[in-house]
Chains A and B, each alone.
Chain A
Amino acid sequence: MSFISSGEADKNSYDVVVVGSGAAGGQTAYTLAMEGARVLMLEAGRHYEPATETPMMQVNADAPLRGAGTPEKPFGFWDATIDGGWDVPGEPYTSASDDPERQFRWWRARMLGGRTNHWGRISLRNGHYDFKPHTRDGLGFDWPMNYEDLAPYYDKVEMLIGVYGENDNMENTPNSPAGVLLPPPKPLVSDLFFKKHAAKVGVPTIAGHRAVLTTRLDHKRLPALLHPGNRKAQAILAADMQKRSACFFATPCGRGCSIRANYQSTTVHLPPALDTGNLDIVTDAMVRAVTKRADGKAEGVVYIDRKTGAEHRIKARIVVLAASALESVRIMLNSDVANSSGKVGKYIMDTVGAGLNGQVPMLENMPLHNEDGVDGLHMYTPWWLYKEQLAGKLGFARGYHIEFGGGRDMPSMGTAAGLEWLNGGTYGRKFKEDARRYYGSFFYMSGRGEMIPNDDCYAELDPTLKDKFGIPVLRFHWKWSQHELGQAAHMEKTFAEILDAMGGRYSRKPQAGNKAIKQGGVIIHEVGGAMMGTDPKKSVTNSFGQCWDMKNLFITDGATLCSNADKNPTLTIMALAWRSADHMLSLMKKKEL
């Protein structure tokens, strides 16, 4: 079994059809295929081969426009994203409001592996508080599970994909068991500099957690822990782990990685799953709807072959939506299924984002050295004011973490641009001296914070607009609450304090929350829209992502999240997907599905 055409797929029968090939689809298909289920994966975008397509080592001068971002490649020319961005040609969406502060921007990627090919690889666990936020402060919703329910799956995902980090015993920032994390990379000057000066204003700094192999995976020890009692799966995984190289500390992760040193679905989940012989993949398959059987269960899905325009129908015992939170919501609304609660599309969330950049005289004219490292987040700051916040001292309810960095990156269009605020504007030999002096002395700080789900943020079908396939598109409603705006203002104020402590300067003053906060969707951590819960009247699925109204329809992407902790959601999505897939396997074994 392997990559097949839509016509070939028509002739086969499958236990499970999985819609989507990113973090959720990849993990779901991996777990199911490794444990013996016959799986068909449908991906809306094209096939993609990181081994041959990744632009490793190219410099910006090799790219059009020196690699600068454009609407066709928003994160730059070398970014891995294919046919994606906040605007996908022929596949529009709308916002109900004309007010930019009430609009939502929806990032998609149309390629095998989806956004996992370019993502930041930041892999943070939700903590105990993050599963019971309503119990803690009366806002939002509790999850129908505890940290302990998901912890074994966090362990498994971290061991499978490879995550570096340390156990720092910080509040609501869980440790991993011994032998799970890979060693973190050595701190950079900017890391240690931040740590020293941020400490003066009470801000802690610890090792970052990212899905990058700082050493090779232990192929002798890990497979047996991940697939106990399953010799075949262990052998396949052991062989595949040996094909992944460790990071060689050069070339940005966002381009993807041809040596498979970081996590992408296409380099980590799909190769061993395909090796089992249990997984077929059809690309260019744009799913329109879930189809229904006479008994009310899901029959399969109907999709459009992007290349031929022909419609195809696939039947399976189980249908899994893992198309990304909002694409899964769209498929459900277009199918008119599993929505007796009326909650499909409700409570969509992004991450709160704000930032401040500065310049630090002490870092000028540094001795030259290579600071590429693993390309980001060698260290970071987890949320540190839980007690003050619970005591009501901050004026907003949830926390954020800080991502930061210095400026010894590979030069890009911005590297020596806009120096006038520092040197007044020069040219000639003086300008060249200034460029050398200031390179590496810039500092960025970005806050990534928790948004609380609210009634004003939801997606519905646009009453008239359809995409190029004739499928109705989503219309978004969006409004930040005072909690998010207060948090964004706190971020910039804190970053200014840290820059002050560094003896740094910033080109603009910290702003009010509504000016500081990035537009909804811009941080690309959208989750929610088909929330899990304990009450079928108030939620769409149970804790396994199994729809209350359609027992053989599962959602394994971010749509089911009840809250969006400041911890970037991808690791949690993968842990939930593994747990869901285990549940599917047990139900199939018991012949309940």
Chain B
Amino acid sequence: MDRRTTIKWMFAAAATVPSLRFAFAGEAVARDVAANQAGYGTDPDLQKEWKAGGPWPLTLTENARATTKALCDLIIPADDVSPSASSVGVVDFIDEWISAPYPQQRGDRPIVLTGLSWIEAESQKRFGKAFPGLSDSQRAQIADDICSTGSKAEFADAAKFFAKFRDLTAGGFYTTPVGMKDIGYRGNVPLEKFDGPPLEALKKAGLA
């Protein structure tokens, strides 16, 4: 990515803290975030060990975290190459993201909270059970309706949520050491000299 794509964060519309409640059958999905919550500041300590929940409080309720875990492991399950998203801290990351005090994240928060509420309601409606308690095939029935650009109009909002949630899950996962290895990143290793690409890579790209 062009490093200046980061500017898009700058100009993201500054969303206000949503005052409406998002609920699972009457129970809040998340605790409120303070309108005046501080960020990490313009001079954070770059040598310190940073953890989700450190710079600002996490806000998802236990039930919402369980739904988040089930959903991010549906998107990135364990396979032969790497473990699942939740096993490398992606639930904490998503909680950190939607609880953060910056415009981009404040804009994402209502999309995610509404979506988590929708997922739970849909799960109850179709199967009479909470989403984390569904079988794989039951979860897939919901996911298949909302995962693609070709989703039916009635699922438009849920599809928008799913796309956002998938981006967050992927970002949370592929930035970890196991995620980086899985996707094929082989850098961040000090080298005495840089030899350029191997011959087989040049051949694959039609360059040798």
Contact of A429 among B5, B7, B77 (CB under 8 A): B77
A428 to B151, CA, bound (A): 17
**How far is B3's CA from A64's CA once the two chains are assembled, in angstroms?**
18
Q: What are the interface flags for A369-391 relative to B under an 8 Å C-beta threshold, 1 for contact and 0 otherwise?
A: 11111100000000000000000
| Chain B nearest CB, measured from A361 CB (Å) | 11
In the complex, chain A residues whose CB is within 8 Å of the CB of B41: 72
* Structural contact, A53 and B177, CB atoms closer than 8 A: no
Instruction: Report the minimal beta-carbon distance from B178 to chain A, rounded to whole angstroms.
Output: 10
Quick check: B96 and A410 within 8 Å, CB to CB?
no
Determine which of B6, B170, B197 lies in contact with A189 in the assembled complex, contact meaning CB atoms within 8 Å. Answer: B197
Given contacts A371-B187, A522-B7, whether A192 and B207 have CB atoms under 8 Å apart is yes
> A61: CB under 8 A from chain B?
yes
List, in ascending order, chain A residues with CB within 8 A of B89's CB.
61
Task: Judge whether B175 and A412 touch: CB under 8 Å.
Answer: yes
Q: Which residue of A lies closest to B79 (CB)?
A: A429
Cβ distance A498 to chain B, nearest Cβ, rounded Å: 15
Name the segment of B24-32, B47-55, B111-119, B127-135 touching the other chain: B47-55
User: Given known contacts A251-B188, A362-B205, is B175 in contact with A188 (CB within 8 Å)?
Assistant: no
Asked if B172 CB lies within 8 Å of chain A CBs, one says: yes
B5–A414 contact, CB under 8 A? yes
Q: Contact at B201–A366, with CB atoms within 8 Å?
A: yes
Q: How far is the CB of A543 from the nearest CB of chain B, in Å? A: 33
Within 8 A of B (CB), among A6-51: 46
Instruction: Pick the interface stretch among A82-90, A221-229, A311-319.
Output: A82-90
Looking at chain A's contact residues, the main secondary structure is loop
One of A65, A250, A367, A518 near B204 (C-beta < 8 A) = A367
Query: Taking A71-B103, A363-B205, A369-B197 as contacts, is the C-beta distance between A65 and B170 under 8 angstroms?
Result: no
Q: Which among A128-136, A154-162, A263-271, A416-424 touches the partner chain?
A: A416-424
With known contacts A367-B204, A369-B186, A186–B149 Cβ distance under 8 A: no
Contact present for B194 and A427 (CB under 8 Å): no
Question: Taking the nearest CB of chain B, how far is it from the CB of A90, in angstroms?
Answer: 10
Q: For chain B, residues 164 to 208, give those with C-beta under 8 angstroms from any C-beta of chain A.
A: 166-167, 170-172, 174-177, 179-180, 182-198, 200-202, 204-207
Rounded to whole angstroms, the CA-CA distance of A65 and B102 in the bound complex is 10
Judging by beta carbons under 8 Å apart, are B44 and A77 in contact? yes
Q: Which residues of B have CB within 8 Å of A70?
A: 9, 39, 100, 102, 104
A254 to B2, CA, bound (A): 13
Q: Are B187 and A372 in contact (CB under 8 A)?
A: yes
List of B residues within 8 angstroms of A74 by Cβ: 6-7, 9-10
Given contacts A355-B4, A429-B79, 11 further A-B contacts (CB under 8 A): A70-B39, A189-B197, A192-B205, A249-B193, A254-B3, A366-B204, A372-B189, A416-B171, A418-B167, A432-B77, A436-B183
Closest CB pairs A-B (n = 6): A186-B196, A69-B6, A372-B187, A425-B148, A413-B171, A416-B170
7 sampled A-B residue pairs with Cβ under 8 A: A72-B41, A77-B40, A77-B46, A185-B194, A192-B202, A416-B183, A446-B4
